[in-house]
Amino acid sequence: MSFFKYIKLKNFRNFHEYENDYNKNCNIIYGKNGSGKTNLLESISLFDKGTGFKNDNLKNIIQSKKEKFINFAQFYSSNKLYELKVFTLQTNERLLKKILVNDDHNKEALTHLRSILSFLIFQPEMERFFLLSPSFRRKFIDRLIYSYNKDYNKLINQYKKNLSERSNILKSQRIDDAWLQKIEDNIARLGIEIYDHRIKQINILNDNLISLFKQKKSPFSVKLKIEDIFLNKNHSNINDVDKYKNQLKINRQNDSFVGGATIGPHRSDISGLINNDFPLNQLSTGQQKTIVLMLILAQSDYLVNKRHIRPIILMDEICSHLDDINRSILLNLVQDFDLQFFMTGTDKNLFSFLSTKTKYYNISNSGKK
């Protein structure tokens, strides 16, 4: 099992200093609005690669008038203790995030940390999941892929870099055709690989959602699909890199006017049906929350039982629209898997349906200075 035992924050968001020990099972962080509940979850997510689930600028994370933040954690995995430190460092007029594992910053230490540390995240805006932008849904699926494939972010970043390079070439007055062709070769190869990962992830979710429905842990059947002009048109032969490159070449003039590329996985969306006939974007807010909780439940099942990964579950302001169905799904999630949870809400009583292993922390007056 993997879990955070102790967390200490310094100059992070609204915390000058904060420290607390945590339960390896379910932790409820409650308190009034503005007390720092979301900030605490964000601080935990920063121990992974990137800038946390808020994806905010590092300078906004540092407490006002302070030079840097320093967060410390004791993290256990397979009964082994890891002392983690994440902090900001100013170098050459750039603000960088650094992570130390047992005071070590070498590549091997960080790679090992990422192999044992994985997150699944619920954010309040996910209650409108199928009404938000396609970009939000793509990032959600990409985050699920990253939960077991730590090289996936490199693939996404390489793809974006080549898209940007192609856009710059198309805007220039003098186009180097050989270089443009090389960039489009990269885009086609990387794009096909991203499509492949996302198709496999959607299939993983659909298979597990069917299983949940058969086990009566889901109130309705759900099937997701990827909406994508190029992918749907070439689904029978999606690995045809030459067809992808040819389409990029055909689209050059149009892409030079509109900017970017009009085909590719950066244009994809996620849609689906419940009970084979009702679109997910027509569901109520509470029902959309049900779908997202089911997706997290399905992914947890895959990670634990197929990948032998035990993710940390971060759920921010989880209690709104928490009807009997959503309580049941959340309870199944907590009871079925031996995982660590951090959930936030304004009132301790909203979580009374959870198990006796749950511990409660009033962030308004606990461990905070």
The model's pLDDT over 324-357, given as tens digits with 9 standing for 90+, comes to: 999 999 999 999 899 999 999 999 999 988 877 8
Give burial (CB, 10 Å; 0-12/13-18/19+) of 267.
Answer: middle
DSSP for 294-344? HHHHHHHHHHHHTS---PEEEESSTTTT--HHHHHHHHHHHHHS---EEEE
Residues in a beta bridge with 112: none
Cβ neighbors of 69 (< 8 A, separation 6 or more) are 9, 10, 11, 12, 61, 62, 63, 87, 88
Q: Find the distance separating the first CA and the last CA of the chain, reported in whole Å.
A: 31
- The more confident residue out of 236 and 112 is 112
Q: Residue 144: its pLDDT value, please?
A: 98
Distance in angstroms (rounded) separating the CA atoms of residues 228 and 265: 7
At 141 the pLDDT is: 98
CB–CB of 324/353 below 8 Å? no
> What residue spans of the chain are helical by DSSP H?
37-45, 58-61, 107-116, 134-146, 152-171, 177-214, 229-233, 241-250, 252-258, 285-305, 324-336
**pLDDT score of 70 more than 90:** yes
Q: What is the pTM of this model?
A: 0.94
Residue 173 pLDDT more than 90?
A: no
> In whole angstroms, what is the distance from residue 11 CA to residue 61 CA?
9
Task: Give me the pLDDT at residue 168, please.
Answer: 92
Span 234-267, pLDDT tens digits? 765 667 899 999 999 999 999 998 888 999 999 9
Q: What span, in angstroms and rounded, lies between the C-alpha atoms of 263 and 268? A: 9
Lowest pLDDT segment from 174-183, 234-243, 300-309: 234-243
Tokens representing 138 are 């793509």
Residue 18 forms beta bridges with which residues? 9, 368
Q: Which two tokens stand for residue 307?
A: 């990948």
The reported pLDDT for the residue numbered 92 is 82
Which of 197, 224, 196, 228 has the alpha carbon at shortest distance from 208? 224
